[in-house]
Amino acid sequence: MGNAYGGPLERIDDCRWRIPKSYKPGMRVDGIIYASDKMIEAIRGDQSPEQVANVACLPGIVAYSLAMPDIHWGYGFCIGGVAATNPEQGGVISPGGVGYDINCGVRLIRTDLTHRQMAKHVPRLIDQLFETVPCGVGRGGRIKFGRQELRQLLSEGSRFVVAKGYGWKDDLDVTEASGCLDKAQPDYVSERAFERGTDQCGTLGSGNHFLEVQVIEEIADPVAAAGLGLVQGNVAVMIHSGSRGLGYQVCDDALKDLRKVPQKYGIELPDRQLVCAPVHSQEGQRYLGAMAAAANFAWANRQVMTYLARETFQRVFGQSAEQLDMRMVYDVAHNIAKLEPYEVAGRTSMLCVHRKGATRAFPPGHVDVPARYRAIGQPVLVPGDMGTSSWVLVGQPAAMEHTFGSCCHGAGRRMSRSAAIRAAKGRSISKELEACGVYARARGHTGLAEEQPEAYKDVSQVVDVLHAAGIAKKVARLRPVGVIKG
């Protein structure tokens, strides 16, 4: 993951560290990293803090370049990176601040099933999910869309597939942006991207994507948990996936198209992976339109997988999804850029907020929080690793004050995939997981090795930082009992 960071990290308080803008020429704002004392030394171990400093050089950046406690090395931006630019002041959009897997995100489905009712069915349930939800590199599914249908899907997102019967209308109410960015431009999506998306809606993919069956093991905030429909001892389903090959192609196309654009607009960058365009430029608008279309594909993808998961539960337990009350709790994106209003220096401006491996964390009362959750705040879903636990939190006011309404997206890697594979040599990760009470199935022979629990930071330390900083409040801890991966 690169050499250790050798630059300054000044303590601000128990949760924040500053990279001063005096650190390197071109920095327009400070960099701020959220981390505990225990975490900061590990964060120094790669060049991700340097990426935070590099992002601080982007034209039009507002306030600071941010990194969440799941920070690790990424393409251009670090994973866990957040940056807001002001389009009215030359602010730019950078594909590296969104990532290759556009709108990779997480959704959570609650059920009325108890762990006791489900326990003896776990292997059969996971085997059935593994057969029903396509997973693995490049793997397509049984649900295919023609060119015109796919264009409509890219425009309408989740709404399109729900109208076709792949979900409940209520699902849209608890999906970020109702599962659709309205400025999507399918015309800006390449033919190759269309080809890659033809049969990949409703598929999990590979890498760190997963579908996990979990048990709600601990309730940290009973009022918020009740408001989200989370009951201790009950079963939940978490789905983590994105825009698959279509989104990857949109990013790849954009990086090529924008290669010479910084030079055209006189923009100097410390890292060519930060290639960008002014938001108001033709090139910037073209990327934003294609990115929004890919984001809509990702929401539709997770929606179809929700349908497939409900279908599988019905088959295994002999009850309808309605009888099992398999309601969605929330769906949140974590590789996306959006125009959102924020108050800066006493004035409200529309800012282009990049969230790369970071999610929204809007507080109680925010207009974009679903009405049913407005009194408690937006649900924040933070998956850990498949051997320990994941967390549900809710956004808090400090997120709007300090992080442009953002928080982390997961535990964050501490080992590269190749290092994890080396560490797994001679071991059976599936047997180790089974010994921990987790039944796992994976399509590829390296899937479980790459994603073994040791490859990730301790999610409890990550959420403790969020909680202490007032960005998001802990609500419930969920323990995995079964998982499928690519």
pLDDT of residue 27: 98
**pLDDT higher at 287 or 417:** 287
pLDDT of residue 424: 72
pLDDT of residue 414: 64
Question: Considering only 291-295, 317-321, 482-486, which range has the smallest mean pLDDT?
Answer: 482-486
Could you say which of 240, 409, 445, 467 is catalytic?
Answer: 409
Confidence label for 436 from pLDDT (cuts 50, 70 and 90): confident
SS3 367: coil
> How do residues 162-209 score in pLDDT, each as one tens digit?
999 999 999 999 999 999 999 999 999 999 999 999 999 999 998 889
Question: Considering only 30-44, 182-196, 221-235, 419-433, which range has the smallest mean pLDDT?
Answer: 419-433
Residue (of 104, 103, 189, 202) closest to 147 by Cα position: 189
Do the strands 358-360 and 406-408 form a parallel or antiparallel pair, or are they unpaired?
antiparallel
Q: Is the dihedral of CA 449, 455, 461, 467 positive or negative?
A: negative
Number of CB atoms found within 10 A of residue 179's CB: 28
**pLDDT higher at 239 or 443:** 239
Within 229-366, residue ranges assigned H as helices are: 244-257, 261-264, 282-317
Asked if residues 331 and 378 have their Cβ atoms less than 8 Å apart, the reply is no
SS3 345: coil
| Across 442-460, average pLDDT | 75
Q: How many Å apart are CA 92 and CA 89, to the nearest integer?
A: 9
> How do residues 353-370 score in pLDDT, each as one tens digit?
999 999 999 999 999 999
| Across 150-169, average pLDDT | 97
pLDDT more than 90, % of the chain: 83
Largest Cα–Cα separation, the chain: 64
| Across 328-344, average pLDDT | 96
Residue 361 has φ and ψ, to the nearest 5°, of: -150, 60
Give the position of tokens 């608890």: 174
pLDDT of residue 293: 98
Which CATH number applies to 10-485?
A: 3.90.1860.10
| Prediction pTM value | 0.95
Confidence label for 445 from pLDDT (cuts 50, 70 and 90): low
Q: Is the pLDDT of residue 1 over 50?
A: no
Q: How many Å apart are CA 224 and CA 366, to the nearest integer?
A: 16
Residue (of 67, 65, 80) closest to 334 by Cα position: 80
Do the strands 347-356 and 79-85 form a parallel or antiparallel pair, or are they unpaired?
antiparallel
Number of CB atoms found within 10 A of residue 364's CB: 17
Under DSSP, the state recorded for 413 is: B
SS3 303: helix
Q: Is 409 a catalytic residue?
A: yes
Within 44-168, residue ranges assigned H as helices are: 48-55, 115-118, 122-132, 147-156, 158-163
